[in-house]
Amino acid sequence: MIYLDYQATTPLAAEAREAMLPWLAGPKSAGFANPHSPHRFGRAAAAAIEAARDQVAALLPPGGRVVFTSSATEAINLAIIGIKPRQLHVSTIEHAAVLDTAKASDAVVHPIAVDALGLVSANSQFAPEADLVAVMQVNNEIGTIQPVEALADAAHAAGALFLCDAVQGVGKLSAPANADMIALSAHKLYGPKGIGALWVRMNRAGAANSRRRAGTGDSLGHSQPCAMCWFRRGGGVVRGPHGRRSRPCATVMGPGGSVAGRLDAERLCRSALARQFEYPTRGT
Amino acid sequence: MSEPLYLDHAASAPLLAAAQEALLDGYARWANPSSPHAAGRAARAALEDARARVKAALGWQGEVVFTSGATEALAIAMSRCRLPLGAVSSVEHEAVLRLADPAPRLKVDRNGQVDPADTGLPALVAVQQVNNETGVIQPLGEIVTAVHGAGGLLLADCAQGAGKIALPDADMVVIAAHKFGGPIGIGALLLREWSLITPASGQERGYRPGTEAVPLVLAMAAALETGNAWMDEAARLRAILDSAIVEAGGGLIAADAPQIPTIGAYAMPGVSSAAQLIQFDSMGLAVSAGSACSSGSMKLSHVIEAMGAGAGGAPIPGGSELIRVSIGRDTTEAGIRRFIAAWKEVARAGRPE
């Protein structure tokens, strides 16, 4: 059989498989502990996750933090439900993971039209009320590449954050340097199923020139857009009682980062998330 | 440094050989089960076969929604149940408690057990099967009768019991594969019927979106099929451990409640949990103080606190001097005896003159 459906999923790269094996082992190994455990087994698992986090971060713009999730769907849920936008702009050709989550959120959803080529205009402008703009990097059905950096600039000009579903682009194209959040999935880039990530900009450099409506009720509790604010507000994201990190799903990259294999499931934000919003995978 | 000995299976258990084999086999059959082509259909067939095997191994007659773990399964159950959340026990895992506000907490007695009479609510009630810190088994048979009698629904977090003891009669059950020798990153929400929760969108019949992690599901099924015959040996080892610790001056927490053989909590008079952990770790012994999820903090466990708040309100003796020992199928009598010797050594060194 000739497989020409790599958009749907990809096989596991040999590098990724090799990287997983030590963490998928039996009682004679050290590779099975809970990374929250304080003993040596747990510390080794936690260290492996942190090393993996750095490897994944290397594929993405500087100045952000990688939050491991079970999938891109979860990463997108986390981003959209976590930000709690009131005015959400999404392209009409987003993946269902974005469209369904948008519909399930409390936001007023504004569709961003595409032209006959399936492209969002790079000259798009967003109303100053916009909180969050979500446009995918590469469409999963027709492969069109959106002008995401221009759209991120436009979002920032309106005082909004920019979320990029980069599932089909990561590992193949450069990630949009000025996005505030980027969602990715391992199984689209030769990693295993069951692991994805949300990259979140930590510093505010990317939005330094942006403004935000003054006044109370700022959903991010901040005078400038900062995607990390809601994490902080949730408390305990970086250190705190979370759900478990999953290490058999520890991250691994192939040489040179060309094969981004194994991301792994760390549930590092789960508790904050779970409390902040009805975390897992809400849709229509 | 002596050879490491792992006695923290309640935090996470080693992957079983059968599960590893199934996982690697799954990675070789990697198509997306939602794809309509032959490879996709084969992945779908493997997924549905694994679902049937999970149900058979657990003796579950209802539905199964695969999730990324128990945390996610709990979140789905608690946020999308057709009834509002009425109460949760005060000794639930953090994964339940942080989703539970503002629902009331059900108090427990000094052995950590919920009174079934408190659970008759026309709402969703969450009570765990087995406590992850003390091994105490809740009287879920009586609780489900009380809950149903009031028109409510019972959610049972069975993360520590599934694959080891029989599942309780509950409306919704949550399991996590890595507690019974499956991989980390996969769990399930078991539903008596679909109508208990509202659908979301996407996969798993619209109840859980996201590409199904077929290899992880196959490994979970294989782990469950390995069975629980080893629990008899776990009970024997546990009895050796309990009597030796008590004889050496230690205390077994919740000694009067039924406990799963795999989890025991022991107090060492005069030696803090943190001091014990450091010493056991340096001796190559991996144990924990309470749950792994909260063990960076070293504050008094909410479970012990809830037990102490029972009748009289006196703190549980040794509540800040506990460590949890959890047994797995790879645990041997030699390992238990080594731990007992180490426990006595730490106790002797730590006891005030």
Q: Do A37 and B330 touch (CB under 8 A)?
A: no
Chain A CB contacts of B22 below 8 Å = none
* Least-confidence region, from A97-111, A211-225, B135-149, B254-268: A211-225
Structure token pair of residue A226: 């900062």
Give yes or no for residue B227 having a pLDDT over 90: yes
Q: How far is CA B20 from the centre of its chain?
A: 21
At B32, the amino acid letter reads: N
pLDDT category at B74 given cuts 50, 70, 90 is: very high
Residues of chain A with Cβ-Cβ distance to B289 below 8 Å are: 38
* Inter-residue contact B318 to B286 (CB < 8 Å): no
Residues in chain A within 8 Å Cβ distance of B98: 241, 271, 274-275
pLDDT at A284 exceeding the cut of 70: no
User: In B, which residues are within 8 Å of A39 by CB distance?
Assistant: 8, 277, 280-281, 285-288
- What would the mean pLDDT of A232-248 be, rounded to a whole number? 29
Higher per-residue pLDDT: B270 or B1: B270
Q: What is the pLDDT of residue A214?
A: 27
Average pLDDT, chain A: 75
Q: Cβ B293–A247 below 8 Å, yes or no?
A: no
Among residues A267, A255, A233, the alpha carbon closest in space to that of B70 is found at A267
Strands in chain A per DSSP E: 64-69, 87-91, 108-112, 132-134, 161-165, 181-185, 196-201
Is residue B163 within 8 A of residue B93, CB to CB? The reply is no
Residue B80 pLDDT level (bands cut at 50, 70, 90): very high
φ and ψ at residue B48, rounded to 5 degrees: -70, -35
pLDDT in tens, A34-77: 998 989 999 999 999 999 999 999 989 998 999 999 999 999 99
Residue A243 to residue B69, Cβ atoms within 8 A: yes
Return mean pLDDT, chain B.
94
Which of B92, B171, B180 is closest to B131 using CA atoms? B92
Quick one: tokens of A260?
Answer: 């981004």
The confidence score (pLDDT) of residue B352 equals 62
The pLDDT value recorded for residue B34 is: 93
- Which pLDDT belongs to residue A224? 31
| B213 inside 8 A of chain A by CB | yes
Judged against a pLDDT cut of 70, whether residue A270 lies above it is answered with: no
Between CA B293 and CA B311 the distance in angstroms is 28
Quote ipTM for the complex.
Answer: 0.88
Q: How many percent of chain B have pLDDT more than 90?
A: 88
> Amino acid letter at A249?
C
Q: What is the pLDDT of residue B91?
A: 97
pTM above 0.90, yes or no: no
Among residues 320-339 of chain B, which lie with CB inside 8 Å of chain A? Answer: 328, 330
Query: pLDDT (tens digit, 9 = 90+) per residue, B3-16?
Result: 899 999 999 999 99
| Residue B94 contacts A where some CB pair is shorter than 8 Å | yes
Task: Report whether A38 contacts B240 (CB < 8 A).
Answer: no
pLDDT at B207 over 60: yes
In this structure, are residues A263 and A68 in contact, taking their beta carbons and an 8 Å threshold? yes
Residue B348 has pLDDT above 90, yes or no: yes
pLDDT over threshold 70, residue B320: yes
Tokens of B39: 């490879």
Half-sphere exposure of A168 (CA within 13 A, CB side): 18
Least confident of A265-269, B159-163, B255-259, B285-289: A265-269
Encode pLDDT of B155-183 as tens digits.
999 999 999 999 999 999 999 999 999 99
Q: Are strands B172-176 and B322-326 parallel, antiparallel or unpaired?
A: unpaired
Interchain pair B68, A74: CB under 8 A = yes
- Which residues neighbour A15 within 8 Å (Cβ) at sequence distance 6 or greater? A252, A253, A254, A255, A259, A261
* CB atoms A265 and B69 under 8 Å: yes
Q: Which residues of B touch A40 (CB under 8 A)?
A: 4, 281, 286
Q: For position A225, what pLDDT does the model report?
A: 34
Is there a contact between B69 and A246 if contact means CB atoms under 8 Å apart?
A: yes
Report the alpha-carbon distance of residue A84 to residue A131 in Å, rounded. 9
3-state secondary structure chain B: CCCCEECECCCCCCCCHHHHHHHHHHHHCCCCCCCCCHHHHHHHHHHHHHHHHHHHHHCCCCEEEEECCHHHHHHHHHHHECCCEEEEECCCCHHHHHHHCCCCEECECCCCCECHHHHCCCCEEECCCECCCCCEECCHHHHHHHHHHCCCEEEEECCCCCCCCCCCCCCEEEEEHHHCCCCCCCEEEEECCHHHECCCCCHHHHCCCCCCCHHHHHHHHHHHHCCCCCHHHHHHHHHHHHHHHHHCCCEECCCCCCECCCEEEEECCCCCHHHHHHHHHHCCEECECCCHHHCCCCCCCHHHHHHHCCCCCCCCCCCCCEEEEECCCCCCHHHHHHHHHHHHHHHHHHCCC
> How far, in Å, CA of B341 to CA of B12, rounded?
24
